[in-house]
Structures are given as C-alpha cells and as structure tokens.
Amino acid sequence: MLVPVDVWTIEVADGPTLSAGAWRRAHGELLVEAAVTHGAQEWTWVVRGWGALLEITFRDEGDWLRFRGTPAVRAALDAAPDPVSGMWIYSGRGGSSAARMPRHPKPRRVSDGAPLPEPDPEPSPWQQPLGLRHSELPLAQIDVAAS
C-alpha cells in the first residue's frame, strides 16, 4: 500500500555577501534536526552553482506546517543570504531537480532549418563504362580460373 507523502522544497540562492553554501553549513544541521523531529521521512540537500536546495518529505501537510513554525526554522530562513528575492519555499520537488525519466530532445520544426540532403542521382547509361552499358563485366572482374 502506498502512503501519500508531501515533498517540500526550500531553495536558497547566493546573496551579495553570503553564499548559499555558507548558509547551509551554518543552518543545515538545525534544519534537518527540526525536520526529523517533526516527522520528516526523507531529506536531500542539492547543491547547484547558484545556491542550495533542501527537499524534505513529510507524511502530511500538518507535519510540514509544524516544522515550518519552529523558531529554529524561522531563524534559519530569516538568515538566508537574500531572504527577500533569493529564497523560495514551495510544495513539490525542486525546480532544478532531474526528471524521473530521462527526457529525449524532440526534433524542432522550423522554417529556416536546413533541407534534407537529396540522394545522389543514378548515373545515366552514357556516363558508365562501355562494358557496363552493354551488361558486360569489365575485364578486371572476369574470373579467369572459372573459364
């Protein structure tokens, strides 16, 4: 039986004076401890070139709300490098997370695309050597041993 779960993501971008990695090192352990204390089933840190993501899985939204309301979590979020425009909190996996199934690029249909190459035209009978024109093999292909 599958148990429904809620995945929540906290994305923190690098700020002008503090990196998201430094923020993670300072507050990451407290965030994970508070998450486990409030019923988190799974958590994952994802580090990107622009910041860090914490993906947390709870059994239901009530656990998330209790976790989100703790003083330690509020203090950590307030201490983000750019709490106004560099932090996003939302339900679901991170926007930068990989797809569960690999995506294959679809061919683009554009009007300015290069045309497909046309096959080489068949040579006319007048462009072939005389022996091939009259269904004869050239001398180099005649098997002397078979004669």
Query: Which pLDDT score, from 0 to 100, does residue 74 have?
Result: 94
The DSSP annotation for 99-123 comes to PSS---PPPP--TTSPPPPPPPPPP
Q: Tell me the fold of 6-91.
A: Alpha-Beta Plaits (3.30.70)
Strand-pair partners of 112: none
Average pLDDT of 61-86? 90
Query: Which pLDDT score, from 0 to 100, does residue 120 have?
Result: 78
Residue 144 pLDDT exceeds 80? no
3-state class (DSSP) for residue 6: strand
Average pLDDT, the chain: 78
Q: Tell whether the torsion through CA atoms of 14, 101, 89 and 59 is positive or negative.
A: negative
Cα 69 from Cα 127, distance rounded (Å): 86
51 alpha-carbon distance from chain centroid: 16
What is the pLDDT confidence band of residue 92, given thresholds at 50, 70 and 90?
A: confident
Average pLDDT of 94-100? 54
Q: Tell whether the torsion through CA atoms of 104, 98, 4 and 11 is positive or negative.
A: negative
Query: Which pLDDT score, from 0 to 100, does residue 121 have?
Result: 75
3-state class (DSSP) for residue 66: helix
Q: Which phi-psi region, left, alpha or beta, contains residue 125 (left: φ > 0; alpha: ψ -120 to 50)? A: alpha
82 alpha-carbon distance from chain centroid: 25
Average pLDDT of 110-119? 72
Write down the pTM of the prediction: 0.61
Query: Tens digit of pLDDT for each residue in 15-63?
Result: 988 899 999 999 999 999 999 999 898 999 998 888 999 999 998 888 9
